[in-house]
Amino acid sequence: MSSDKPWAGRFTQATDPRVEAFTESVSFDARLAPYDIQGSIAHATMLGRCEILTRDEVDAIVSGLQAIDQQIAAGEFEWDTALEDVHMNIERRLTEQVGDVGKKLHTARSRNDQVATDLRLFMRDTIDQTGAALDQLADTLLELAEREADTIFPGHTHMQVAQPVSFGHHMLAWREMILRDADRFADCRRRTNRMPLGAAALAGTPHPIDRSITCELLGFDQVCENSLDAVSDRDFAIEYSAAASLLMVHLSRMCEELVLWTSAAFGLVELPDAFCTGSSIMPQKKNPDIAELVRGKSGRVIGSLQALLVLMKGQPLAYNRDNQEDKEPLFDTVDTVLACLRVFTPMVGALEVRADRALAAAGQGFATATDLADYLVMHGVPFRDAHAVVGRCVRRATDAGCDLAELPLEDLQAESAAIKPDVYAVLTVEGSVAARDHIGGTAPNQVRAAINRARNAS
């Protein structure tokens, strides 16, 4: 394949092979080929409708591009790094196949608006894939929450047992994180779905084009209004990476809980064997490697966000070659996020809660102490006084080596005459969970009500 450069007319020396190796991007941007062809077909169609190209020229170009698309899909396309990028590789093959008419495809456009368009088309599809994966995870968490609505589980603050909760309620908390993530990606899609094509290198083109035609053909919501901004903007890539970083933070937090819960010290949850690995030396081990890897990959995605932010921070308008460096961190973020979601979702859906261990753990650490304080408040004791009373009751139970529910009534009444025999009903973990009976509370019937609202809203 010939490697003559499209700018060869200006230069008297061939490009140094070391420069070709340093500047090529086709080794990673070849994945944009379907979008480059999609954009080129739309561009050629627009040139034809505006009578910049003849009907026969458009037909030849479109047929050639469709043939190239099939060659790439079949793995029959030979990529040439000397041609730098995906755009020039496709254009060169097009010219080889249809002749000089292929050289007319680049009329009224630049690689600057071409790559910006390709990248937005790619990101639009990527956001849709990410959204679909998030929907699947949200549905899985909803099903798990329903299955475990009555399962009592220890709720923690400061990694200390705080109050008992429904495990279903905990899964709905995870789901809230995922729903916010889905909203962020959807919002990012709105700004991504704007078309740079027609901005050319930076100033527009003197050819009588109609950008609205291309915009409609490519399914963009609107054109980018300013040609300088159109070719230099990478906000949409940064926004995706920012949303992805928050998503990975959420997945990492969930994975951290799974790692803790599955440990021998907690023993609250069992992950399916299919999503765990063993040890090369310790035959008894069942390691939560998937959870650990997802947790670890969060740093990778956050790092890519930082790379994109630093990449853009010092660039003057308009396009600069620096922007070639946007693709590798962006592509890695996309691949990492989708891979994590595709393995995390089925793993979570198949986990099993060890309900007996969870129930026992939920009662540790005087988890119903707040319930006793609320009981006193309901019997006319100011909350701050009730707090002090319960603190003294906890000290009594600690000295006696028992739980609050095991203290004799006379010991409890010694701290407050407001305590009556019915107090023991609120000192059970079951009573504690059931008492939080309001929207957003952990009572099992509220968990089911939240699930019903979620299903009715979808």
Q: pLDDT tens-digit profile of 215-247?
A: 999 999 999 999 999 999 999 999 999 999 999
387 is catalytic: no
Residue 156 in domain: no
First vs last C-alpha separation in the chain: 53
Question: What pLDDT score was predicted for residue 1?
Answer: 37
pLDDT in tens, 127-143: 999 999 999 999 999 99
**What does the alpha-carbon distance between residue 218 and residue 161 come to, in Å, rounded to a whole number?**
54
Beta strand spans in 186-341 (E): 194-195, 222-223, 269-270
Residue given tokens 């940064």 in the structure block: 238
Question: What pLDDT score was predicted for residue 278?
Answer: 87
Model-wide pTM > 0.75: yes
**Banded model confidence at residue 317, pLDDT cuts 50, 70, 90:** very high
Mean pLDDT of 399-421: 95
Domain count along the chain: 3
Q: Specify the pairing of strand 222-223 against strand 194-195.
A: parallel
Out of 2, 158, 280, 458, pick the active-site residue.
158
172 and 270 share one domain: yes
166 is catalytic: no
**What does the alpha-carbon distance between residue 45 and residue 296 come to, in Å, rounded to a whole number?**
46
**What does the alpha-carbon distance between residue 349 and residue 34 come to, in Å, rounded to a whole number?**
34
Name the average pLDDT for the chain.
Answer: 95
Lowest-confidence segment of 31-35, 230-234, 276-280, 452-456 by average pLDDT: 276-280
Question: In this model, does residue 259 exceed pLDDT 60?
Answer: yes
**More confident: 458 or 216:** 216
**What does the alpha-carbon distance between residue 151 and residue 366 come to, in Å, rounded to a whole number?**
19
Domain range for 96 is 17-107
Strongest mean pLDDT among 22-31, 39-48, 273-282, 317-326: 39-48
**What does the alpha-carbon distance between residue 311 and residue 329 come to, in Å, rounded to a whole number?**
11
292 and 332 share one domain: yes
φ, ψ dihedrals at 111, nearest 5°: -65, -20
**What does the alpha-carbon distance between residue 293 and residue 298 come to, in Å, rounded to a whole number?**
9
Tell me, letter by letter, the H, E, C secondary structure of 296-322.
HHHHHHHHHHHHHHHHHHCCCCCCCHH
Element (H, E) at 195: strand 194-195
177 and 270 share one domain: yes
Residue 320 in domain: yes
Out of 3, 232, 279, 438, pick the active-site residue.
279
Element (H, E) at 346: helix 327-349
Question: What pLDDT score was predicted for residue 10?
Answer: 73
347 and 435 share one domain: no
Lowest-confidence segment of 131-140, 268-277, 281-290 by average pLDDT: 281-290
Residue 212 in domain: no
pLDDT in tens, 62-118: 999 999 999 999 999 999 999 999 999 999 999 999 999 999 999 999 999 999 999
Residue 253 in domain: yes
187 and 270 share one domain: yes
pLDDT in tens, 174-225: 999 999 999 999 999 999 999 999 999 999 999 999 999 999 999 999 999 9
Question: What pLDDT score was predicted for residue 7?
Answer: 64
Question: What pLDDT score was predicted for residue 379?
Answer: 96
174 and 297 share one domain: yes
**What does the alpha-carbon distance between residue 72 and residue 66 come to, in Å, rounded to a whole number?**
10
301 CB-near residues (< 8 Å, 6+ apart): 241, 244, 245, 248, 333, 336, 337
281 and 332 share one domain: yes
pLDDT in tens, 293-305: 999 999 999 999 9
**Banded model confidence at residue 15, pLDDT cuts 50, 70, 90:** confident
Measure Cα distances from 398 to 254, 394, 395 in Å. Answer: 33, 6, 5
Residue 43 in domain: yes
**What does the alpha-carbon distance between residue 339 and residue 136 come to, in Å, rounded to a whole number?**
14
Buried (b) or exposed (e) across 335-369, using 16+ Cβ within 10 A? ebbbebbeebbebbbebebbeebbbebbbebbbbb
Mean pLDDT of 157-163: 93
**What does the alpha-carbon distance between residue 181 and residue 246 come to, in Å, rounded to a whole number?**
7
**What does the alpha-carbon distance between residue 32 and residue 430 come to, in Å, rounded to a whole number?**
56
Question: In this model, does residue 340 exceed pLDDT 60?
Answer: yes
**Banded model confidence at residue 4, pLDDT cuts 50, 70, 90:** low
173 and 268 share one domain: yes
CATH assignment at residue 341: 1.20.200.10
Tokens matching residue 287 = 């390691």
Show which of 337, 353, 369 is a domain's final residue. Answer: 353
101 and 124 share one domain: no
